[in-house]
Every structure is written in C-alpha cells, then in structure tokens.
Amino acid sequence: MTVELQPSSGGRFEVTVDDRLVFSKKALGRHARPGEIVEILRGHAG
C-alpha cells in the first residue's frame, strides 16, 4: 500500500490507495469524521 500527501486547491480532500479513490470530500459533501481515514486505510492494508 502506498500513502502519499499531494497538495491541491479548492478545498479538495481526497484519499487514494494504490491509485484508487477511497474518500472524496467533494463527492460526499463533508469532511472526514475523526478516525474515518485511518479505518479506510486499515481496510486496504494487506
């Protein structure tokens, strides 16, 4: 699994795992809840 922070503009916050989008603030219309991104990443680890 590759995790990388990439700067963007326009308030976008997106998380990709191995080039697959797994969280998008824009698509969901909300910020991630506390711990939500960690849980997503755990679900994609090995």
pLDDT at 18: 82
pLDDT at 46: 66
**Model pLDDT for residues 1-46, shown as the tens digit of each residue:** 777 777 778 888 888 888 888 999 989 999 999 999 999 999 887 6
Q: Where are the domains of the chain?
A: 1-46
CA 18 vs. chain centroid, Å, equals 11
The model's pTM: 0.77
Q: Quick check: 46 and 1 in contact, CB under 8 A?
A: yes
E strand or H helix at 22: strand 20-24
